[in-house]
Amino acid sequence: MSRETRPARPADPGRTRLDSYVDRYASRTKGMTASEIRALFSVASRPEVVSLAGGMPNISGLPLDVVGDAIGELVAEHGTVAMQYGSGQGDPVLREQICDVMRLEGIDAHPDDVVVTVGSQQAVDLVTRIFCDPGDVVICEAPSYVGALGVFRAYECDVVHVEMDEHGLVPEALRQALETCRAAGRRIKFVYTIPNYHNPAGVTLSADRRTEILEICRAHDVLVLEDNPYGLLGFDGEPLRAMRADEAEGVIYLGSFSKTFAPGFRVGWVLAPHAVREKLVLAQESATLCPPAFSQMAVSAYLTKHDWLGQIKAFREMYRERRDAMVEALDDMMPAAARWNVPGGGFYVWVTLPPGLDAKAMLPRAVTARVAYVPGTAFFADGFGAQSMRLSYCYPTPERIREGVRRLTGVIEDELDLRETFGATTHGVTRGYESPNTDLS
């Protein structure tokens, strides 16, 4: 269509709108709001800023020559399959390999029950799509993964947060939340949990609690959505037993190659009870027709040709060194009233600031001081979390991590000085739970 014949934009007399299509969008898009911190992140990605904000895996340790050779061979030998449409459920060879990966966490699964997805982010989306109507309740930890909260909002679910402590989700708090929701006549669809090296809280659900939470969910006839992208990235000992290993019917398990290989392939998966698997394949077909064959076959070739377990060990060592650098720097520099946990794996430390400080209000000053983090409010559906922040240690070098913590400490100390001189300069958000416990130290 030429410029001349293109219809005029909808008239909007008397009002200036940035988006003149606003009245046409489906009501579910109301939940799709850009985070207020997005603009700051474009500044935060400048090289002079130490970003402790993003959760980007540090893939610089990958053997790019090996991956390159495997992809070259893939194109030469199987290009016409790899570049073709594939099955909606995902490549059968890869699904078998995925079962081998899950066996490391005690899961005995059949490839028929695995659906390959475009990262585990799409897995969260597909599960929510097939289970949730607007107004349905999804129970989440407090705090919870920002990407999952975005999905739940997009499907107009009501998120009910449940307290965590240093051992993960608190079973008694979960029981109470389920009873309260049921008594209010609410429909609860699932409990969304990240049991290992939680994003953003850094904590791990203890073995006893896994059993207890499964019992509670069974008794209330509520599914568990176990999201486990970090399970193989523990710093000490063997991988923990997945909840799905002890409960096949009541747990939908999500996995990903993003953190153990590379996120650019966008390959994740769902392991679901057989009937649910069928619905997920239909949902996947309507969303993408099929997950990308090329990515799946590339991941599969990597798993076949490379010592992927050895690579995960190397990743673990690299992340442990960075975790140590961050925790040491926090121990050395942070003001006494700040609190944080020491994660046993994964990418994140959750810091609770001294009382009265507001991490969201402080972020522009931190970015000016050339350090970035994610304020705790991003990880709550209800505005809670202002006194907390997530720090990621996965990407910067240990030296940069230390420098980042030094800059951050300077900003926090300035805020404390201001408070002392002028009284409260910030307003922590007080609405939320009956007994919030975001101090996970």
Within 10 angstroms of residue 404's Cβ, the number of other Cβ atoms is 28
- The answer to whether residues 221 and 189 touch, using CB atoms and an 8 Å cutoff, is no
For ligand PLP, give the closer residue by CB, 173 or 194: 194
Selected range binding ligand PLP among 209-217, 255-263, 333-341, 418-426, rule: CB under 6 A: 255-263
Taking the complex as a whole, the smallest distance from the CB of residue 262 to ligand PLP amounts, in Å, to 10
Taking the complex as a whole, the smallest distance from the CB of residue 418 to ligand PLP amounts, in Å, to 34
| 270 makes contact with ligand PLP (CB under 6 A) | no
Taking the complex as a whole, the smallest distance from the CB of residue 419 to ligand PLP amounts, in Å, to 33
* Two structure tokens written together for 52: 């402790």
Binding mask 120-159 for ligand PLP (x = CB under 6 A): xx-----------------------x-x------------
Cβ contacts of 274 within 8 Å, gap of 6 or more: 112, 113
d(CA 376, CA 201): 10
The number of angstroms, rounded, from the C-alpha of 264 to the middle of its chain's C-alpha atoms is 16
Binding to ligand PLP (CB under 6 A): which residues in 327-386? none
* Two structure tokens written together for 423: 């009284």
Cβ contacts of 183 within 8 Å, gap of 6 or more: none
Of 97, 258, 260, 392, which lies in the binding site for ligand PLP, with binding defined by CB under 6 A? 258
| 231 makes contact with ligand PLP (CB under 6 A) | no
Taking the complex as a whole, the smallest distance from the CB of residue 175 to ligand PLP amounts, in Å, to 24
For ligand PLP, give the closer residue by CB, 55 or 90: 55
> Burial code of 168-178, b = ≥16 C-beta within 10 A, e = fewer?
bbbbebbbebb
| 195 makes contact with ligand PLP (CB under 6 A) | no
- The answer to whether residues 393 and 349 touch, using CB atoms and an 8 Å cutoff, is yes
* Two structure tokens written together for 171: 């079973």
For ligand PLP, give the closer residue by CB, 223 or 362: 223
Largest distance between two CA atoms of the chain: 71
Binding mask 83-122 for ligand PLP (x = CB under 6 A): ------------------------------------xxx-
Positive or negative torsion for Cα 52, 57, 62, 65: negative
Of 193, 196, 204, 256, which lies in the binding site for ligand PLP, with binding defined by CB under 6 A? 256
Binding to ligand PLP (CB under 6 A): which residues in 20-59? 55
d(CA 144, CA 335): 26
Question: Residues in the site for ligand PLP, rule: CB under 6 A?
Answer: 55, 119-121, 145, 147, 194, 199, 227, 229, 256, 258, 263, 268
